[in-house]
Amino acid sequence: MDSQFNSLIQSYNSNYVQYKITGNPSYQSAYVSAQQGLDSIISQLQQEVTSEKSSISDFYKSGIEQTLNGLQQKNRKLQRGIIIEKDDITAEKIRNEQPAPSPSQPMITTNQYIMLGVLGATILGLSVL
């Protein structure tokens, strides 16, 4: 199409100049014919541009923007989940690195008090004798 367009422009220019110089009507019909060919090519290209604009508009109207927004929201949720997971892992590592608390002194049970009382009474009873 480019070569056809270029040849029509050259034909238009040369025939228009020849018509202006000579006034010969055959040059006039030749440049008018070239002009009509150029107008036809330009009209065809304009129709293609309009058709492509319509296709692009239909593409966006078909919900692609909503789909992209939905995917972005899912991506943000996954990122938050990954961050929370990393925080949990880090917290667990910190807890595991801390020394275990020392065991507290066991409480004395009632049976142990009774045995201490019996032992004390036995010692006291033996010392009185």
pLDDT tens, position by position, 44-57:
999 999 999 988 88
Mean pLDDT, the chain, integer? 86
Q: Could you read off the pLDDT of 60-93 as tens digits, one per residue?
A: 777 777 787 888 999 999 999 899 998 888 888 8
The pair of structure tokens assigned to 22 is 């000579």
Largest CA distance in the chain: 161
Within 8 A by CB and 6+ apart from 16, the residues are 27, 31
Tell whether the model's pLDDT for residue 119 goes beyond 70: yes
Q: Is the CA virtual torsion 117, 122, 123, 129 positive or negative?
A: positive
Give the integer Cα–Cα distance in Å for 61 and 63: 5
Mean pLDDT of 3-32: 92
pLDDT in the model for residue 61: 72
